[in-house]
Amino acid sequence: MILVDKLCYLSKLRYVNAGEKFAFAMLTLVFCIVSRSIAMGIFVMAVTGFLTVYKGGIAFTRYLKLMMVPLAFLLLSTAAIIVNIARAPLSAFALPVGGIYLTGSWESILQGVQLIVTAMAAVSCLYFLSLNTTMTDILAVLRRLHCPALMAELMLLIYRYIFVLLDVAYYISTSQNARLGHKDLRTSLHSFAGLVQALFIRAMKRSRNLYDAMEARCYDGEIRVLEENHPARAGHIAAIAVFELLLLAGTLYIKLG
pTM for the model stands at: 0.79
DSSP structure class, residue 93 = E
- 10 Å Cβ neighbour count for 89? 15
- In 3D, which of 127, 17, 151, 142 has the Cα closest to residue 70? 127
The larger pLDDT score, comparing residue 118 to residue 232, is at 118
* pLDDT confidence of residue 5: 76
**In the chain, % of residues over pLDDT 70:** 95
- As beta bridge partners, residue 163 has none
Res 193 pLDDT > 70: yes
* pLDDT confidence of residue 82: 77
* pLDDT confidence of residue 245: 93
* pLDDT confidence of residue 108: 78
Over residues 27-52, the mean pLDDT reads 91
Res 181 pLDDT > 80: no
* pLDDT confidence of residue 160: 76
